[in-house]
Chains A and B, each alone.
Chain A
Amino acid sequence: MKNIVGNKINAIVESITPVTESIKRFKFIPEDGGEMPVFAGGAHIVVEMPDGDIIRRNPYSLMGNIDDRSSYSISVLQVKEGRGGSNYMHNNVKEGDKLTISYPVNLFALGWKAHKHLLIAGGIGITPIISQAQTLMQRMLPFEMHYIARSEEKAAYLNELSQLYGKRFHFHVRNKNSRWSVDPLLLNQPVGTHVYACGPEKLMNNVVDTCTQAGWDKSTVHIERFLAPASGKPYTIELKESQKHITVRKNQSMLEAIEQAGVNPPYLCRGGACGQCETQVVSFSGTLSHHDHFLSDEEKASGKKIMPCVSRVEGDNPHIVLER
């Protein structure tokens, strides 16, 4: 019954494959040899990385073959100056290692009422778009895929995608010398099109702004934002309900510090998008540094709510008391 009801999956890293200079693909198989739970285009898993005395939990989009229940695959871009999750995956994880992963969660699901699906990926944002294209192919639904990267060399899976999707697939180089714009594409879509975008903030904001100005209905614009938690100076937290006093380190998120203290708030995206870990602020000193896309501007200004997965406390004597 594991595929139907369960909490976490004990997985073995079956293989690690270099894809580009800075991207590696990790293939996980279930430790018990059974099947992985079903997933579909847009889904992600959270990978737990025991890094010293803390557990990092990073979300990664599932790619792999959606019909092959024997394994899951993710692609990880190494961000050398990042907080450490992708460096841990690239430097510490070896074939044969055991890792705990979550069940698939889908915050970037396809809209089944769309007449046409327009997939737009920038850089490593290609990973959820790959599984969405697979799902659309399998269900024989009309779609078009656009992949934007700085160069052909940096574009993971370029040849594979071009071969698989032929005329449906379009590649665009965008760098200092070549400024491809997404606007003409968006402005020439038939009514009933749903757009799905994953990539750098700038690209996604561009898609949202252009669609809004062009009068697209909000429900037809799907954005997958995975922000990395911000780093910053250490500060202290008091958890009122659990009566704990903890310190958030430089490269740690508030959520990770709370988890390290043995308190487990609910979470899904760990990237400031889904709202699941929303926490009430009792009081604070310093300033709240909100990095999420979930709370409204008014809520952020009120100082009453915070998304501990990405946001921090900064300024003088930074300290926060949370209702947890």
Chain B
Amino acid sequence: MYAVNLEPHTPVKKGSVFEFPFDVDEHYVSEMKDRALVLDEDPLRCQSLPHMEAAGWDTLELIMESKAAAYPEHFSLSKDGDKWRWINRPMGIDDTFIFGNTSTLPYGPMEYITRQAQGDFAVLDQRDGNLWMDAGIVTTQADWSLDFDIGMNFFEWHAPVPLAHELGIFKRALKFLLNVQHGKPARRLNWTMTINPRLDTSPENYHKWGKDRLTVTPENVGEKVYLRVELQTFWRLPRSNGLLFPIRCYLISMEELSSIPKWGCRLHRVLGSLPQELRDYKGLTSYIDDTVAWLSKFDQGQETSPGTFPD
């Protein structure tokens, strides 16, 4: 039911989302435009409590250094002491600023860089043997709210997750996360499903997307129902000792997913065996049966190869 699927965040396969620390793909510019639109409508999607400024600079430094090294054709970073120049060619940005001096940037450091980075970001303060959701930017989320969770600790913001508390999963997870070290980031995958290719499935906008769940029919499963996979990574931030938690969302329709026979078969089995509590928690209740029926044609009881990559 729950898998402890944590592993070191090290490069896996050229061209895969695991090739670089922060994956940049063909949706980069459009996702950044989408983020700007969401923030225009709802500025509370990005918040940073006053003590999180050092962690914000950590975040900026990590993402800039990583992207400039991984994608030199798109991003450049040059430093002259604390005077930094950052060039983001796909977004047409060429800014010079003083590292550590927020007044030299158009936004706070965390907001500045995460308006240029795909995926949501939670920036966690580490203190009193716990992690605290004290900053973040969250515009592509699977039905959780930064504005609701801001200031909460690890157990508080995970309170709604069914069954896992009783199994002691969060205690073990917290112990692991408190010990994530600089230089040794970790990752895990999380998943749910979404109707239509919509990144922003927030509680704030539930009235816009919640009703889509009722539009699924046996005929339109292939185009309407999407698997939503989150690549979650965990980074120790060396200046603040905080933890950066990027949550990168990828969507794929049932039609496209089942073009890889292994994936169609696997998802049929996973959805078919999902406990009721998780069907409800993930919000699949109204359309999961149609989806399982649609996927059944890909599952002939065959064995599938290990790992997630296509054969």
Contact = CB atoms under 8 A, between A and B. Distances in A.
Given A37-B238, A104-B238, A105-B181, A4 B66 contact: yes
A104 B182 contact: yes
Contact of B179 (A40, A138, A268): A268
Interface stretch (A15-23, A106-114, A225-233): A106-114
Interface in B48-81: 51-55, 58, 61-62, 65-66, 69-70
A43 interface: yes
Given A67-B82, A219-B128, A5 B241 contact: no
A1 B21 contact: yes
A6 B69 CA distance: 14
A138 B62 contact: no
A106 B241 contact: yes
A112 B181 contact: no
Interface in A94-116: 103-106, 109-113
Interface string B221-262: 000000000000000001111000000000000000000000
A112 B61 contact: no
B35 interface: no
Contact of A5 (B127, B184, B238, B239): B184
A39 interface: yes
Contacts of B54: 40, 112, 139
A43 B70 CA distance: 28
B115 interface: no
Contacts of B65: 3-4
Contacts of A260: none
A38 interface: yes
Contact of A109 (B53, B69, B184, B241): B241
A210 interface: no
Nearest to B58: A38
Given A4-B62, A40-B241, A219 B182 contact: no
Given A5-B9, A103-B181, A38 B241 contact: no
A43 B238 contact: yes
The residue in B66, B70, B82, B181 that gathers the most chain A C-beta atoms within 10 A of its C-beta is B181
A38 B70 CA distance: 19
B210 interface: no
A33 B55 CA distance: 27
Contacts of A268: 179, 181
A163 interface: no
B272 interface: no
A39 B62 contact: no
Contacts, number: 77
A5 B128 contact: no
Contacts of A218: 128
A219 B127 CA distance: 7
B66 A1 contact: yes
B51 A112 contact: yes
B21 A138 contact: no
Contacts of A219: 127-128
A40 B241 CA distance: 8
The residue in B100, B185, B239 that gathers the most chain A C-beta atoms within 10 A of its C-beta is B239
A112 to B, nearest CB: 4
A5 B186 CA distance: 10
Interface in A137-157: 138-139
B21 A4 contact: yes
A120 B147 CA distance: 38
A7 interface: yes
A40 B66 contact: no
A266 B183 CA distance: 15
Given A105-B182, A109-B126, A268-B181, A5 B240 contact: no
Contacts of A106: 182, 238, 241
Contacts of A135: 239
B209 to A, nearest CB: 35
A112 B184 contact: no
Contact of B100 (A5, A110, A138): A138
Contacts of B125: 112-113
Contact of B239 (A3, A4, A38, A276): A38
Interface string B159-194: 000000000000000000001011111000000000
A37 B128 contact: no
A1 B238 contact: no
B179 A276 contact: yes
Contacts of B61: 38
Contact of B238 (A40, A110, A139): A40
Interface in A198-226: 218-219
Interface of A: 1, 3-7, 37-40, 42-43, 67, 103-106, 109-113, 135, 138-139, 218-219, 266, 268, 276
12 contacts: A1-B69, A4-B21, A5-B183, A5-B184, A38-B58, A40-B238, A40-B240, A43-B238, A105-B181, A109-B241, A112-B52, A113-B51
Given A105-B181, A112-B127, 14 more contacts: A4-B65, A5-B9, A5-B21, A5-B184, A39-B238, A103-B183, A103-B184, A104-B182, A109-B240, A112-B52, A113-B125, A139-B53, A218-B128, A219-B128
Q: Closest 4 CB pairs between A and B? A: A109-B241, A103-B183, A112-B51, A38-B238
